[in-house]
Chains A and B, each alone.
Chain A
Amino acid sequence: QKEVEQDPGPLSVPEGAIVSLNCTYSNSAFQYFMWYRQYSRKGPELLMYTYSSGNKEDGRFTAQVDKSSKYISLFIRDSQPSDSATYLCAMSASSGTASKLTFGTGTRLQVTL
């Protein structure tokens, strides 16, 4: 079983839709949770960063973490064609020193006109 599971998609939605992306994980030591966006043949771009459980909002993006269920989500409101990309969840078990990230395989999102 992988430490981080993520539905690879592809997920196709019309412009303006609300998108929900999710990851589950098995390692209860994970405390830091991130979402990255990766356009084709580019490097991952950090979108959201959260620590432990709770919600965080930044513009059209909302990240949720439920540590009791080992489940994290990214919501995108009013989706745009420019949101078409692969979305990667990542997490780490930092104990106060910098730590490696464990990634999901990514969900490919296509926002259509």
Chain B
Amino acid sequence: NAGVMQNPRHLVRRRGQEARLRCSPMKGHSHVYWYRQLPEEGLKFMVYLQKENIIDESGMPKERFSAEFPKEGPSILRIQQVVRGDSAAYFCASSRGPETQYFGPGTRLLVL
């Protein structure tokens, strides 16, 4: 049974470039969540999606960040015009429904 898959595992971008992070949920899971973890801090919720719908984006920065979970394919977290403060580990989690969330290995973004 494959777990939550994320790619790339490491991503280096220069300031002003775009970052695209991908997440494939566990088989049978239709709920996807994105979290961000800054050094020495806990995970912070960003956005919760179901297929083709954003359910809760209360943790998303108002600008430059967007997320989607299309009918086919992985969920995408997109960061436009990255800045150094965007450097962090981004984790995706999935769940079957209103229960436990299972996390992927994360994508570590470094902005130079």
Residue positions of A touching B, CB distance < 8 A: 4, 6, 8, 32, 34, 36, 41-46, 49, 88, 90, 94, 96-106
Within 8 A of A (CB), among B66-96: 91, 93, 95
Q: How large is the interface on B (under 10, 10 to 19, 20 to 34, 35 or more residues)?
A: 20 to 34
> A36-B103, A98-B48, A100-B33 in contact; A44/B43 too (CB < 8 A)?
yes
B1 within 8 A of partner (CB): no
Q: Does B97 contact A (CB under 8 A)?
A: yes
In angstroms, Cα B42 to Cα A74, docked, is 17
| Contact between B101 and A101, CB atoms less than 8 A apart | yes
A–B pairs, 25, beta carbons within 8 Å? A34-B100, A42-B105, A44-B43, A46-B100, A46-B101, A46-B103, A49-B99, A49-B100, A88-B42, A88-B43, A94-B98, A96-B98, A97-B55, A97-B98, A98-B55, A99-B56, A100-B33, A100-B48, A100-B59, A102-B45, A103-B43, A103-B44, A104-B42, A105-B40, A105-B42
B33 → chain A closest CB, angstroms: 7
Complex CA–CA separation, A6 to B102 (angstroms) = 21
Q: Is the beta-carbon distance between A105 and B97 smaller than 8 angstroms?
A: no
**B-side contacts of A105, CB under 8 Å:** 40-42
B22 contacts A by Cβ under 8 Å: no
Q: How far is the CB of A39 from chain B (nearest CB, A)?
A: 11
Q: Report B41 CB to chain A, min CB distance, Å.
A: 6
Min CB–CB distance A17 → chain B (angstroms): 25
Contact partners of B91 in chain A: CB under 8 A: 43-44
CB distance from B101 to the nearest CB of A (A): 6
Interface contacts beyond A49-B100, A98-B99: sample of 9 additional A-B pairs, CB < 8 Å, sorted by A: A8-B40, A43-B4, A45-B103, A96-B98, A97-B55, A98-B48, A99-B98, A105-B41, A106-B42
